[in-house]
Amino acid sequence: MCSYRSDCIGASISGYQNVGKSEHFLASSLSSVGPITVAADCSDRGFIWGAMLGDQGYIYMAKDEADTCGLSKFASYPTL
């Protein structure tokens, strides 16, 4: 069972920082900050996702391919 314990807090998030809306800014933030949260634009009818795709919850996306799925448009990371 999961429960909250205040003595186990490792960090507190104070907010978030949006990443500039280009693959350049996404790559730069990734190399300087670490993992980045992104949202994919899945509105295209050709977009298909299923259990057989991905790698344990992660996906691989092509870089420099016309902003695949709009990932650079919706990227951010937490600030501590």
Q: Where are the domains of the chain?
A: 12-79
User: What does the DSSP 8-state code read for residue 53?
Assistant: S
CB atoms within 10 A of CB 19: 23
pLDDT of residue 16 exceeding 90, the answer is yes
Residue 31's φ and ψ, nearest 5 degrees, are -75, -25
Which residues have CB under 8 Å from 79's CB, separation 6+? 13, 14, 15, 16, 17
Predicted TM-score (pTM) of the model is 0.69
pLDDT (tens digit per residue) in 21-34 = 988 998 999 999 99
